[in-house]
Chains A and B, each alone.
Chain A
Amino acid sequence: MSMRNRVVDLYKNLYHMGKEYPGGSKWFHDRLKLAFSKNKDVQDVTQIEQLIARGEFVIKEIEALYSLRKYRAMKQRYYDKDDEVMQATKKFEDSVQKL
């Protein structure tokens, strides 16, 4: 794949990831366009590689954000007791038993 195609692909992938962005996709898509147009004159191959790697890192980060957001929502809706609270409760109960 040519360098140009890789950059275009990265843009498309990022655009796709932005569609679900919390609070509307516009913020994300505007930033995305700005970030790409800012670097449109970059010619150095190693620097382009670095920028592509950065874009791929952003994709991973958004994926993690979405999955956490969904997990949190499900946990809040279906599991009323927080894990940490449950652990703390257990610890408390165990210590009371020893007394």
Chain B
Amino acid sequence: MKILVGVKRVVDYAVKIRVKPDRSGVVTEGVQHSMNPFDEIALEEAVKLKEKKLATEVVAFSLGGPKSAEVLRTALAKGADKAIHVQVSDDEAGKLESFHVAKTLQKIVEQEKFDAVFLGKQAIDDDSSQTAPILAGLLDWPQALYASKVEEGGSGHMKVTREIDGGLDTIKVKVPFVLSADLRLNEPRYATLPNIMKAKKKPLKNIPIKDLGVDITPQTETVEVTEPPVRKAGGFVEDVSALVAKLKEKGFVKA
């Protein structure tokens, strides 16, 4: 089984997000970036399957600006065998949508014959969680979303446990399939220095987006980006009757 893993370069989870003064987006210049945490989980699962001999090759993929190569190097250090960087300009990278990513993944899968695509359930920057289902639709493959456990399912199938509202859902999907990783699937390993060094020798292929013929014209327009409202400070009341009076005033208790 050849697995393609999608990794996205996002603003690091520990960074305090700031909105640009003109409200056109968030500040990304001079801010630490790293691999989307959910993509790390997807990658870890693919590497684990390879270690269990259930997968033969793990290829990391990223669609993004020139700096996305850093994230691919990290993916190689964490155990991917090869990496594919579909490059766009930094300007275009900011306007990419799940649909464009799915379209690009579809092209790569068709060219290189993969048996599975592993993705994070969502990226921590746009939180859209759409890439995996759109890709499954485009490829007409079964999907196993929000996976929390992946096992061999016998006769060309995989058994996947999914996290859904109020419980777990166990499904059998026929290979090839698309998987999206949930938080509890595994504990991703850390990219150690020796592995980072070794990763420098692994192949990273760079493909300009126009060579794939994928149209990345934006379909949505960002009208405004604003900070979440700040929680207002509460007040103190003298005694119970003052509290009841306040509650009545606000209409929380019937008079």
Known A-B contacts A13-B193, A16-B192, A16-B193; the reply to A71 vs B14 at CB < 8 A is no
Partner of B187, one of A16, A69, A71, A77: A71
Q: Known: A13-B192, A13-B193, A16-B192. Is A79-B183 also a contact (CB below 8 A)?
A: yes
User: B13 contacts A70, CB within 8 Å?
Assistant: yes
Question: Is there a chain A Cβ closer than 8 Å to B188's Cβ?
Answer: yes
Residues of A within 8 A of B122 (CB): 78
Q: Is B13 in contact with A78, judged by CB distance below 8 angstroms? A: no
Chain B 18-49 interface residues, beta-carbon cutoff 8 Å to A:
37-38
* B190 on the A face (CB < 8 A): yes
Residue of B nearest to A14 (CB): B193
Interfacial chain B residues near A13, Cβ < 8 Å: 192-194
Q: Which residues of B contact A59 (CB under 8 A)?
A: 192
Partner among B13, B190, B194, B196 whose Cβ is within 8 Å of the Cβ of A67? B190
- Can you identify 29 A-B contacts, CB atoms within 8 angstroms? A9-B194, A12-B193, A13-B193, A13-B194, A16-B192, A16-B196, A17-B190, A59-B192, A63-B189, A63-B190, A66-B190, A67-B187, A67-B188, A67-B190, A70-B13, A70-B37, A71-B183, A71-B187, A73-B13, A73-B14, A74-B13, A74-B37, A74-B124, A74-B183, A75-B183, A77-B124, A78-B122, A78-B183, A79-B183
The 6 closest A-B pairs by CB, nearest first: A16-B193, A63-B190, A13-B193, A73-B13, A74-B183, A74-B37
Question: What band does the interface of chain B fall in when counting residues whose beta carbon is under 8 Å from A?
Answer: 10 to 19
Residue of A nearest to B190 (CB): A63
B61–chain A nearest beta-carbon distance, Å = 22
Complex CA gap A31/B66 in Å reads 36
Closest partner residue, chain B, to A70 (CB atom): B37
Report which residue of B13, B192, B193 has the largest number of chain A beta carbons within 10 angstroms of its beta carbon.
B193
Kindly state the separation between the CA atoms of A74 and B26 in the bound complex, as whole angstroms. Answer: 20
Residue-wise, chain B 178-204 has the 8 Å CB interface mask toward A (1 for contact) of 000001000111101110100000000
CB distance from B148 to the nearest CB of A (A): 12
Instruction: Write the nearest CB–CB distance from B95 to chain A, whole angstroms.
Output: 24
What does the 1/0 interface line of A60-72 toward B look like (CB < 8 Å)? 0001001101110
For residue B121, give the distance in angstroms from its CB to the closest CB of chain A. Answer: 9
Closest chain-A Cβ to B127's Cβ sits at a distance in Å of 9
What residues on B are CB-neighbors of A73 within 8 Å? 13-14
Most buried by B among A9, A67, A70, A75: A70
A59, B195: Cα distance in complex, Å:
14
In the complex, chain B residues 80-139 whose Cβ is within 8 Å of any chain A Cβ: 122, 124
Q: Write out the residue numbers on chain B whose beta carbons fall within 8 Å of the beta carbon of A12.
A: 193
